[in-house]
Structure 1
């Protein structure tokens, strides 16, 4: 390649990136305007999509409604053809999709095909896993499929704490799986997926967070994520009791505003049902079905979803689980971004100099505005 060709390529890339930035800002502004105007059938597409590949899990985690057997919906796995129809419709419009909501995605027999299909359609894909099933074969398939972001959940810096929280998991085996995944990514010469090591703030983990950060501040980890405790709208007393005892209650505004989830996100359960957000894990408030409506946007802009938005706009938060939720105050949208609201322990990400230089690793407390 000549100098002029190289220069032209760099200029072209710079221009393309700038165009993408402008388009993203325009899209975010449009979403914010729709939210502020109270559009019950938003003209803009949602910002993010959450797809429940399955609601089956192999663990019995103490802070999770699935692990506690509180999710009463029928168990199942999303049909691959339904998944592809959803991606075909939404890929040109949403910024990203997760492949998990209330289950362990590595249990889905076609999860690698799902990841690859997102890559084929240009859709950023993200996945959270307990990493207990992350064998060498599965790790290699994830890397080959082209996942963009992976959250590896290690709730504890010691065997005793971790196994008391992630019940049925083995501390040493999970650590081995995670380290092997990082080594495979390095050996394959890849920078993706971004590897996030995550711990949830709970009474059981609060004294081990510093040790966790030290333990995983190593090359290969791109981000260390300390996730604020989530009560899942305070629906389960046993989960609420896990909240850190010394956690300062975050400021909740006196005036409750309509939940941004209803305008910015779309949650799709394994059978095509739409949920207002992942806190409605039992679908107390049905909002339509992708298959029955003939598409995601038909359901998302449909009568049931419109009515829920209308209720929120009017100050009626009696729908379940809105009527018990305090996490609504975590997020207030802004014209060109998600907004950080009043989420507890919100801090900006910090550079992590101990991580691999090419990874651009970060240490942070949670990701805003993603509530799932």
Structure 2
């Protein structure tokens, strides 16, 4: 609760009321100063407005690096599999237990959106506990998840019925060879099957190809075109 109501939070609010972005909001301040209003991160919060009772409307959780893949562009900070197998380091110790869940419970009851990042969110035990609590509060909080799309089990299936999810699935390729070369440990067939499941559940927000540009043939396939003509690489 001190994170939301404590001295540091009040200092931040006072600074923003005075249009002072130097305290902890320098990125947004630089974007506004340069005129890049559409690219300012703060815009992503505008649709939530201000809660009359003073509760935060959007929460963001990156609580664990638990992950089953060793993606080419990733590191052990975000993947427990990479940390153990590629970097040879011990597991990260999580500080988040029952007391943490009890502390955030009132926030979960009032939030309009909760975002889940880090590792593979659907493999995180604490994320599942948070989602269960959101469901018990009535399941009105949108749960925005960035996933590698490899995890589908009974609990995920049940959660999609109990809580409104919006899911972004990172794929990074249109062929099995590309996907499995970049997302080491993934099965293209399993991934595509799970994409269909998420689509059927009307949960998909985005299918991402963000990290490695596909070749022309793959991009044409994704776009549903026989070929690409006159394409210039950025």
Give the TM-score, by structure 1 length.
0.40
Partner of 1:355: none
Once residues 99 and 19 of structure 2 are traced to their aligned partners in structure 1, the CA distance between those partners, rounded to angstroms, is: 36
Partner of 1:150: 167
Does the CA contact (< 8 Å) of 1:56 and 1:75 recur in 2?
A: no
Once residues 71 and 147 of structure 1 are traced to their aligned partners in structure 2, the CA distance between those partners, rounded to angstroms, is: 38
Which 5+ residue runs of structure 1 have no aligned equivalent?
1-29, 186-190, 216-245, 248-372
Which 5+ residue runs of structure 2 have no aligned equivalent?
1-12, 26-53, 226-232
Does the CA contact (< 8 Å) of 1:134 and 1:178 recur in 2?
A: no
Quote the offset at 1:76 in angstroms: 4.5
Partner of 1:268: none
1:108 aligns with 2:108: no
Partner of 1:37: 20
Shift in CA distance, 209/65, structure 1 to aligned 2, threshold 3 Å: farther
1:134 aligns with 2:152: yes
Q: What SS is found at the alignment partner of 1:200?
A: coil
Quote the offset at 1:210 in angstroms: 4.0
After TM superposition, the structure 1 = structure 2 runs for residues 9-88 of structure 1, keeping only pairs within 5 Å, are: 33-34=16-17, 36-38=19-21, 40=23, 48-66=58-76, 67=79, 68-69=82-83, 75-76=92-93, 78-88=96-106
Aligned partner (choices 188, 191, 197) of residue 174 of structure 1: 191
Shift in CA distance, 167/85, structure 1 to aligned 2, threshold 3 Å: same
Partner of 1:159: 176
Once residues 148 and 35 of structure 1 are traced to their aligned partners in structure 2, the CA distance between those partners, rounded to angstroms, is: 36
Q: What is the total number of aligned residue pairs between the two structures?
A: 177
Quote the offset at 1:170 in angstroms: 0.7
Does the CA contact (< 8 Å) of 2:147 and 2:170 recur in 1?
A: yes
Q: What SS is found at the alignment partner of 2:152?
A: coil
List per-residue Cα deviations over 1:303-340 (Å, max 9, x = no partner): xxxxxxxxxxxxxxxxxxxxxxxxxxxxxxxxxxxxxx
Once residues 161 and 134 of structure 2 are traced to their aligned partners in structure 1, the CA distance between those partners, rounded to angstroms, is: 13
Once residues 182 and 152 of structure 1 are traced to their aligned partners in structure 2, the CA distance between those partners, rounded to angstroms, is: 11
Give the TM-score, by structure 2 length.
0.59
What RMSD over aligned residues (CA atoms) do the two structures have, in Å?
A: 3.8
Shift in CA distance, 47/170, structure 1 to aligned 2, threshold 3 Å: same
List per-residue Cα deviations over 1:186-214 (Å, max 9, x = no partner): xxxxx5x34432221424x2533442343
Quote the offset at 1:60 in angstroms: 0.1
Quote the offset at 1:146 in angstroms: 0.7
